[in-house]
Amino acid sequence: MSAHLWQWLVLAATLILLGYLGWKKPHALVFVLAAAVALEISRTWYPALGSLGKALGTVDLARLTTLAIIITAAAYLVVSAEKRQLLGVALRRPLTWSLLLYIGLGAGSMLYSVDKQATAVEVVRLFILLLLCLSIVVISRKQDVLVPLQVVHAVGLLLLPLTIYEVLTKHFVWQQFLATVNPPRVNATFVDPNIFARYLVLAIVANVVLQYLADTKGQRIFYLGALLGLITELAVTLSRSGMVTVVLVLGLMLLLKPEKRVLKPIGLVAILGVLLAIIHPTVWQRILTFGQGMQALDPQRLYLWRVAGAMFHDHPILGVGMGGFQKSFLTHYLKLKTISNGVTLSHTTILTIAAELGVLGLAVLAAIWILLSKFMWGLRSAGRRTYILGIGYFLWILTVFISSQAEARFFEDPVMWLAIGMLFTVQRVYN
């Protein structure tokens, strides 16, 4: 049987499975999405879909699941007054309006954007992700608020054998060229080691939350052992952004919940991190590069920063238009490119927003974080279980944001919208 036919069969099986879940167990689609974001390799499973494929962009399991969630939620809104009420509550939240404002700002930038087609694509993409967030609110059940954390934690652990295999054999199941990089950097089922590291930080946050909620000593011992595996995986990605992110995120978790049940696993992470740095010289060398400052940065990253700064200087209020960074770079700032075959897409979220949407974009971003913080403040009066769940999903959003300063993909990452949807669901449990 040809590989092309297999791809069509896998696509058909995926659509049947997603359709069945949407009909019989719509809440389970959220769990599938939590796992699917780890399977970026799934883009190799499906056939090219011609003009439809171009319209959808990269076809992978996460994107297909996203569409399934939105379609399922839409169907339930037609027949269920209760679901419409849930949507109405979500739409009235200030945080939802701030996200709509950001998308609206991007849509407005089409009037002056240097690349109107890219702006339109980006606006549509973000609107679909907002629909995903609202759809998750509609189909999620209150009793399942812990499950996405459990799924991400489980997937992180399931990737451990593959990670060890790639480390020992230097045979990568995807993106084999990464095995030839010196030193090799494990990516498992992800397109990039840094995105793999991002997912592992999400799993580590989930691990700490699950330890906190564990009822028995046996469960806590299991989670401590699982934490060792997750930290080992994170170390072999050699991701500096992953290392920075896990330190900042767990440090904030300790500030938000300064209790022994949180301190113990975080202390274990610190000890394991030191031991791995001593045992694995390459990890230690990557850590040492932090002290070298700007000189340790990739030359590509340096000129991308300069280009973003120049765009912001020339267009401080409105920017060059959402999604317009690359075209503006190639048409107006190419002289700042110091590597002939270097990248032309920005990899730093804050600088990208500054360049593309100016001060207005940065102001809306700040408003989103203020409202998220206010949301968390409101959960402080909830019970210990509700608050720690809220912390978990809030730190998922923060994880994506911090790591996106090195690898972009903040608003574009479905995990961010999944976490906001689950935060709304957590608050529904409390109310």
DSSP 67-131: HHHHHHHHHHHHH-HHHHHHHHHHHTSHHHHHHHHHHHHHHHGGGT-S-HHHHHHHHHHHHHHHH
How far is Cα of residue 250 from the mean position of the Cα atoms in its chain? 17
Where residue 175 falls (left for φ over 0; alpha for ψ -120 to 50; beta otherwise) is left
pLDDT digits 0-9 by tens, 249-280: 999 998 888 887 888 888 877 777 767 666 66
pLDDT digits 0-9 by tens, 226-257: 999 999 899 888 888 888 899 899 999 988 88
pLDDT at 289 over 70: no
Q: How far apart are CA 61 and CA 46, in angstroms?
A: 9
Reduced to 3 states (helix: H, G, I; strand: E, B; else coil), residue 382 is: coil
Report the pLDDT value the prediction gives residue 157, as an integer from 0 to 100.
96
pLDDT digits 0-9 by tens, 129-172: 999 999 999 999 888 999 999 999 999 999 999 999 998 898 99
pLDDT digits 0-9 by tens, 47-100: 887 665 555 667 899 999 999 999 999 999 998 999 999 999 999 999 999 999
pLDDT at 321 over 70: yes
pLDDT digits 0-9 by tens, 398-420: 999 999 988 778 999 999 999 99
Place of tokens 């069509």: 8
pLDDT at 350 over 90: yes
